[in-house]
Chains A and B, each alone.
Chain A
Amino acid sequence: MSARRVRIEQFDQDILVEDGDTILSSALAAGIDYPFLCQQGQCGSCKSYLISGSVDLGSFYNPMVLTEHERSRGLILACQAQPLEDCVVSVAELDGEVSHVVREITCSVVAVAHPASDITVIQLRNDSGQPFIFSAGQYAHLTFPGLPAREYSMANRPDVDLLEFHIRHLPGGRVSSYAATELAAGTAVTLRGPFGTAYLREEHLGPILLGAAGSGLAPIQSIAETALANGLKQRLHLYFGVRDRPNLYQQERLAELARRYSNLSITVALSEPSGAHDLRVGHLSSVIAADFDDLTDYHVYLAGPPAFCEAAQGVVLERGVTPASCFMDPFVTNK
C-alpha cells in the first residue's frame, strides 16, 4: 500500500491518499471541510483544479459535469480522482463563491493594438508553467518593466489561453502612456491575480443587463462571451458607452456575437458626439434609464469609471434590482 501526498491550496493542508482512495474521501476522513454533494461524479460540487501532479480521473462521472474541455484545462472531480503521484489541487468554489488562489505569474506580450483613439488592447501569453485561473469579470495587477502595478480586467473568456486587457490612455498616466506609445510584443509582464467579486453568476435564471463605459468593456466582453458560450439562454442586454466615435472599439467583435446569439442585444451610446452617426446619444446611465422601467429579477454588471458605476447603480436600484444582484468593481485610476 502506498500513499500520495496531496496539497489542498485553500485549506493550506496536506493529506495522504492511499491507493484506491479518492482525494475527496481522504480529505473528508482527514476532517477537511471539502465541498461535496453527490460523491458520484454527478454534481460538480467538488470540482477542483489540478495545479501539479497527475491523477486517474475515474470512470464514473457525468461528462456534462466535467466536460472534455474542462478536463483539458486541468479540472478534476475530487470525488473520482485518484492521485498517481504527489499533487497540488485547488478547490474551484467554496460556499457558492469562486475561490481562486491569487498567483503571481510571468507573461509576455504577444500582440499590441490601438483600436480606438484612447485604447490599447494587449494580449499576453502565460509563460509561468502555472495555470492562471479566474472567472469572467475579474481583474489582475499588471506590472510592466520599471513601472508601478496597475489594475486591469481580463477581457477574454477564462477558457481561452491568451489573456486580453484593454488599457485606456489617461493624459499624464505613466503606465497608460507607456502602453500607448512604447509597449511592444515580446515585453515581459508580471501578472498578479485574480481579484474582484463582479464575476459572472451563471446560476442566475433571469435576464441580464451589462453596462460598460470606456475600457469597462473589457470585463463586460468577457462576461458576455462566457455567458453565451456556456449556453445561457436568457436575454442579455449589453450597453456600451463612450464619448465620441473615435473612442469606439470592438464593434465588429460585438456585432458578430449578436449575429450568433439571438438572445444578445447591443446598444451603443455616445455622450459627446461630433459629426453624423446613427447611435444613441447621452450618458450611458441615462440611456439605460430611458430604456427600462422595471428591472426586477435582473442581474446587472457594471464596469467603468466610478462616476458611471455610481450613476448606473442608482438607476438600476430604482428600477427594482436588489443590491445583491448588482455587480461592479469600479475602475480607480492612478496617474
Chain B
Amino acid sequence: MTDTLSIDDTQDSFGLFTAAAVHDPYPFYQRARETEPIHWSERAQAWYFTRYRDVFVLQTRPDLSVDRVETLYSYLPTTDTDRFSNIIEHYTRWLLYRDGAYHDRLKALFMKAMTPRAIEAMRPKIQMRVETLLDSLEGQDQFDAYLDFAARIPVQVMIDLLGLPMSDEAMLRHWSDRCSNFLFQPVNPDREKLADEQRQILDAQQDYFIPIIRERRARPRADMISAMVQADVDGEKLTDMEVLATCNMMATAGGGTSRSAIAMALWRLQQFPDQLAKLKANPKLINLAAEEFLRYEAPTQRSIRTACESFDYEGHHIEEGQILHLMLGSANRDPEQFPDPDRLDLARNPNRHVTLGHGVHYCLGASLARMELRVALDGFIRRFPDYRLVSDEIVFMDRTASRRPTSLPVFAR
C-alpha cells in the first residue's frame, strides 16, 4: 500500500487515496481546496472537486449523469466478465444510478412514501426500535455503540418499511454490508473475490425476495413492496427484478449510511464536550444538531458523476465521458461556506451542507435518515448521558468513498 504523505505532490492527488486519508481525510481535503480545488487525477482518471461552490453547482447540472455502468465494470475481474452479468444488471436497476424516465417513475413513488407526514407516522415505530435496543444494553458497563446500536437501527427501520420479518435482520444486514463494500470498494480490492461474493448474494436475494414480491402482488399490504408492485406510470408496472433491486438499494444505501451517521455523531460528540453538554441541557437542539452531524461527517464522502457531453468549467475542459468526483466531505468543511468549519457547532443555522445532495439526485431517503438520526441520538443520550469512549482511536472501514467505523466501544457511564 502506498502510504505517502507527500501531500504537495499533485500526482498523488494530495494524498486523497492514502491510508491516512481513510482515518482523517480533512487535512488532505483542505490542501486540495487551497492548492488545486479542481484537480485531474491521473491515477484515478477522474476530476476531483473539493470546494463547496463547485460541488453545489455541479450537483444540479442536468448534463452530468449518475449512470455507473462503466464504474461497475471497472470493479469486476478483467477476464471472463460475462460470469458477472447479473451484477451489472442488478445495479443498473438502482434508482440511484439511473437518469431519465425509470428514475422519475420510481422517484415519484418514493416521494409519496417519504412525505413529512409519512416520516412522522414512522416516528413511533423508530422510537420503539431504538428504546428496545437501548433496553438490551441497559446494565452493561461496556458495549459497542456501533455494532450493538447504530448499525442495527437503520436495518430494522428498513425492514419495517419494506414489510419484512424482523427475524431476517442479521441476513439483511450482512447483505447490506457486503453490497456497500462492493460499491464503495476497499482501498486494495481483490476483484475476483468481491465479484464472486456479489454474484452469490444477488442469487440469494432473488430466492428470498421474489416469492415475497409475488405475494404482495396478489395481496397488497401497507408496506413499500406493496406500493412498488402497485405503482405504474403510463400503465407500466415495475418488474419483479426492478422491485428486488429497489429493496436492496433501500437496505444498502439507507441501511449503510444512517448507521455511519449515528455512530460518527456519538464519536464526535466526545471530542466536543461543550456541545454534548449543550445537547443534554436542551434536547430540542437535536433537530439542528442532526444537520451539524451530517455536515461534519458525511457518511458518503463523494458523489460520482459522468459528463454526458464536453463542457468548460472554471477554465478547465471536461471531456464527454469523463468521471467527476464531487467531494461532499470536503465541501462541508469549506470555510468560504461554513465559518470555523472544523468546529462542531450543534446550533449552526443556516447549515446548507451537501451531504444528502440536492437537485435531481437529492437523497430520497433523506427525511427518513434525519428522523432516524434525531430519534437514535436523542434516545441514546437520554439513556447513557455519561457514555465515554473506551479508546480515542477508532478504526474505519478500509475505503475513502465512505466513512464508517468498524466498531465504537463505549463505557456506559
A interface residues (Cβ-Cβ under 8 A, vs B): 22, 25, 28-29, 33, 35-45, 47, 60, 62, 64-65, 93, 95-96, 201-207, 231-235, 263, 296-299
Q: Give A47 to B117 CA distance when docked, in angstroms.
A: 11
Distance in angstroms between the alpha carbons of A202 and B362 in the assembled complex: 22
Q: Across the interface, do B116 and A45 meet the contact criterion of CB distance under 8 Å?
A: yes
Measured between beta carbons, the chain A residues less than 8 angstroms from B108 are: 64, 231
**Bound CA span A263–B119, Å:** 25
Contacts of A41 in B (CB 8 A): 358
The verdict on B352 contacting chain A, using a C-beta distance below 8 Å, is yes
- Known contacts A203-B121, A207-B220, A233-B231; is A43 also within 8 Å of B367 by CB? yes
In the assembled complex, which residues on chain A have CB atoms less than 8 Å from the CB atom of B222? 204-206, 297-299
Give every chain A residue within 8 A of B107 (Cβ-Cβ): 64
A-B contact pairs, 6 of them (CB 8 A): A35-B116, A43-B367, A95-B120, A205-B113, A206-B223, A233-B231
A205 to B226 CA separation, bound complex (whole angstroms): 7
Q: Do A36 and B287 have beta carbons less than 8 Å apart? A: yes
CA distance A176 to B291 in the complex (A): 55
How many Å lie between the Cα of A35 and that of B365 in the bound state? 18
Knowing A42-B362, A44-B115, A234-B220 are in contact, say whether A205-B227 is a contact too (CB < 8 A): yes
Q: How far is the CB of A252 from chain B (nearest CB, A)?
A: 25
Cβ A37 vs Cβ B220 within 8 A: no
In the complex the two chains form, is B350's CB within 8 Å of A39's CB?
yes
Answer whether residue B118 sits at the interface, using C-beta atoms and an 8 A cutoff.
yes
Is B370 a contact of A96 with CB atoms below 8 Å? no
Chain B 221-241 interface 0/1 with A at a Cβ cutoff of 8 Å (1 = within): 111101100111000000000
> Is the pair A37, B370 in contact by a Cβ cutoff of 8 Å?
yes
Shortest CB–CB separation between residue B377 and chain A, in angstroms? 15
Verify B349–A201 contact, CB threshold 8 A: no
Select which of A29, A65, A202, A205 is within 8 A of B117 by beta carbon. Answer: A202
Tell me whether A206 and B226 are in contact (CB under 8 A).
yes
Asked, given contacts A96-B116, A205-B224, A233-B227, whether A28 binds B356 with beta carbons under 8 Å apart, the answer is no
Q: For B104, give the chain A residue with the smallest CB separation.
A: A64
> Which residues from B are CB-within-8-Å of A232?
112
By the criterion CB–CB under 8 Å, are A96 and B220 in contact?
no
Interface residues of B in 261-295 (CB under 8 A from A): 284, 287-288, 291
Q: Which residues of B contact A231 (CB under 8 A)?
A: 108, 112
**Contact of B191 with A by CB under 8 A:** no
Q: Is residue B111 contacting chain A, with contact meaning CB distance below 8 A?
A: yes
Known: A22-B350, A96-B117, A206-B226. 17 other contacts (CB 8 A): A28-B288, A38-B370, A39-B350, A39-B352, A40-B362, A41-B358, A43-B366, A43-B367, A202-B117, A206-B221, A207-B220, A233-B231, A234-B220, A234-B226, A234-B230, A297-B220, A298-B222
Q: In the complex, how many angstroms separate the beta carbon of A41 from the nearest chain B beta carbon?
A: 8
The tally of CB-CB contacts under 8 A between chains A and B is 105
Contact of A25 among B114, B350, B367 (CB under 8 A): B350
- B11 interface residue (CB < 8 Å to A): no
The reply to whether A42 and B366 contact each other, CB–CB distance below 8 Å, is: yes
Docked-complex contact B349 and A28, CB < 8 angstroms: yes
- With a CB–CB cut-off of 8 A, which chain A residues contact B388? none
Query: Closest chain B residue to A230 by CB distance?
Result: B112
B224 x A96 contact (CB < 8 A): no
Question: Chain A residues with Cβ under 8 A from B123's Cβ?
Answer: 96
**A46: shortest Cβ distance to chain B, in Å?**
9
Between A201, A234, A235, the greatest number of chain B beta carbons within 10 A of the residue's beta carbon is seen for A234
Q: What is the minimal beta-carbon distance from A18 to any residue of chain B, in angstroms?
A: 12
Q: How far is the CB of B227 from chain A (nearest CB, A)?
A: 4
Whether the Cβ atoms of B116 and A37 lie closer than 8 Å is yes
Main secondary structure of the interface of B (DSSP, over half): helix
Residues of A within 8 A of B351 (CB): 39
> Chain A residues with Cβ under 8 A from B113's Cβ?
203, 205
Q: Report A100 CB to chain B, min CB distance, Å.
A: 14
Q: Contacts of A263 on B, CB cut-off 8 Å?
A: 230
* A40-B108 Cα distance, complex, nearest whole Å: 18
B251 CB to nearest A CB, Å: 17
Residue of A nearest to B363 (CB): A42
Size class of the B contact interface (CB-based, 8 Å) = 35 or more
- Choose among B109, B116, B231, B370 the residue that contacts A93 (Cβ–Cβ < 8 A): B116
Q: Is the interface of A mostly helix, strand, loop or mixed?
A: loop
Q: Which 6 A-B pairs have the closest CB atoms?
A: A206-B222, A96-B120, A203-B118, A297-B222, A45-B116, A205-B227
Chain A: minimal CB distance from B128 (Å): 15
Determine if A64 and B226 form an interchain contact, defined as CB atoms under 8 angstroms apart.
Answer: no
Q: Does B230 contact A233, Cβ atoms closer than 8 Å?
A: yes
Residue of A nearest to B235 (CB): A262
Shortest B126–chain A CB gap in Å is: 13
Question: Smallest CB–CB gap between B350 and chain A, Å?
Answer: 5
Alpha-carbon distance A243/B68, docked complex (angstroms): 62
Docked Cα-Cα span, A36 to B222, in Å, equals 26
* Residue pair B367, A38 in contact (C-beta under 8 Å): yes
What is the chain A residue whose CB lies nearest that of B232? A233
Residue in B107, B223, B284, B358 with the greatest tally of chain A CB atoms within 10 Å:
B358
In-complex Cβ contact of A62 among B230, B284, B352, B362 (8 A): B362
Taking CB atoms, residues of chain B closer than 8 Å to A43 are: 114, 116, 366-367
Residues from chain A with Cβ under 8 Å of B287 in the complex: 36
The smallest beta-carbon distance between A235 and chain B, in angstroms, is: 7
Q: Mark B133-151, 1 if CB is under 8 A from A, else 0.
A: 0000000000000000000
When C-beta atoms are compared, the residue in chain A nearest to B124 turns out to be A96
| Chain A proximity of B231: nearest CB distance (Å) | 5
Bound Cα distance A43, B114 (Å): 8
Q: Which residues of B contact A235 (CB under 8 A)?
A: 220, 230
A43 CA to B291 CA, complexed, in Å: 14
CA distance A206 to B118 in the complex (A): 13
A65 touches B111 (CB 8 A): yes
Contacts of A207 in B (CB 8 A): 220
Instruction: Please provide the chain B residues from 73 to 119 with a CB less than 8 Å away from any CB of chain A in the complex.
Output: 107-109, 111-119
| B349/A202 in contact, CB under 8 A | no
Within 129-186 of B, Cβ neighbours of A (below 8 Å) are at none
> Which A residues lie within 8 Å of B224 (CB)?
205
Chain A hits for B349, CB < 8 A? 25, 28-29
CA distance A192 to B353 in the complex (A): 43
Chain A residue contacts of B121, Cβ below 8 A = 96, 201, 203
A276 to chain B, nearest CB (A): 37
Cα distance A296–B350 in the bound complex, in angstroms: 44
State the CA gap A296–B121 with chains docked (Å): 18
Bound-state Cα–Cα, A25 to B291, Å:
13
How many Å from the CB of A319 to the closest CB on chain B? 14
Inter-subunit contact B366/A37 (CB<8 Å): yes
Produce 1/0 per residue, B353-378, CB < 8 A to A.
00010100010001100110000000
